Structure 1
């Protein structure tokens, strides 16, 4: 299976100029100024025109509730599972699945099975072990063993801190999990990150600063997410990232009337203006997770659902509204999560030998035209052409 994308502007995510890109089965085979088509070939070669388009790596979404989430308002508020086209339609070719508030009716075996199903349908999947709570919910007897023994588990998460829905972990609890994640990653050659849900509590990232001040666990091991939830949390996250840690913006957290939430693309701009190294910022969707809003006493007021479309829409806003260069706006969705999750030998860049995970966007408005996952066209002319097993039966 050969595909040649001709005369297209390539962002790797760095701008590489106009190139031809050859895909061989599920890998990027060659990138060159010109790749000649043979006059006679024993292979079927699909030629894709790159006219008026740009080519980027497929998005890596590091936080998706692929089995659904929520439940803060009772059983009827449990959010639905993610379907294949919910993911691919918005340029996402790799997802990391996680559990959230509910580690009881949503459990690790189901999360692992869903990840395997999505991979069979055409994308790349990984998962975190655990949920909001401590002790963690695992498949084996502990989190470290999950990371070492189960191929798809690359870290622990999402453990909740600074949130009334958390298990109120102590700093020592978080330190112990960070150590489990670190050693599990070392022994398995994986990232072994501790992925942390951060609520709107007053503690913000104080516990992470306590741990990093001890000096034994590097800040890169602990990745806080939802950092644009409040302006105060964002400023704490700027400090954390400048000290060496990675931080994750949530694209589906959008401003409300009281002005406490920072729009994701605006948060990215603020971080860059305040001197955060651009390689320290990632962005994920919290797709299919619940987006609850509580009053001052913790009572549920309303509930929304995170959408995987927000990664792409906030990328566009970063470029067109915040005037962030395309290559810089791409990094939190491509090369940066690949580096955080130790996937750089497979994902996140346009380089020969890496997986053929590619987006073709229309140059004028950055709308998605084509999505290719592991060499297979999943979306064409803006519409999905590959569907999940049950999508056409519903």
Structure 2
């Protein structure tokens, strides 16, 4: 049986489990492995959830005869056979420790894991991130030392714990190079699958707005984007373009803007905080936006860029980490740490001829990406059933 572990990616509050943001990938991977197991070998899938998980939004799991659900307090409560596979679709530092402990108890159990990136290695310290926490720049030095300590500790334990995993999967060649280590037994990368409902032209209308996703996460670089966008609006008052930001509430956005001593009056006129949006709402936003502005400081893959690309949208993106590998030549690149570079990126993409050029490149790249994902899905499944091509 293939067991998929959800304990690491689900938060439990008041005895009710809810999905965390990172579990979206785990859900897609679970659906894919389940469907492939039905088609290929009719192998059962075990889904390990925390005790108290609320299945009201996931009732289909309980109805699927191919899925056996386990509700446990900890992973060691599950009894595994020696020929079983335990798969961790999302792994962080604490999960590596769990895997290390399981390996000591179950030395013959096959353990596979998907590590999306190695954030302690690719996230540079940035004093602007302090604004998210407290807004007091003068204590940035303390945050810097905290960052260094976490970096050293993670690297020490990573080398020790990673050997507990039989197969390490990741989502880009960039991440593979970062994750590779002399103690890694096996590692390979597979591009992420993206599931979305294709909208007909009468289901959406093209809007005059730039889309920015996950504004609540410091590594997405919202602070510099806000400075650059407000500068663009001041210099181009006749342009009615607005900025829509998902993942952050209006009050939080206004608080951040005030801490940065920016113009908070633009919130609600030029800048809009959309808060959390559903998959269906996000899908429509991708279709309706002029383009995506993705100035992230570090990515293991860069899923929003791929999501925009598959809707035929151009993007202004960072030229760092894995992003150039994913999007290739069909995006306008900027330096995420340079506000003037972000400003120039917005200015260029606001030109119709520039945007149409990148949209034409997106059409070519989209076909290639879809073929790549289909191939990687097949190769990923073969890792579980032991097939070689």
Q: TM-score, normalised by structure 2?
A: 0.31
More strand by share: 1
Which structure exhibits the higher relative contact order, with contacts defined as CA atoms closer than 8 Å and separated by 6 or more residues?
A: 1
Higher helix proportion (structure 1 or 2)? 2
Larger Rg: 2
In the superposition, the TM-score normalised over structure 1's length comes to 0.31
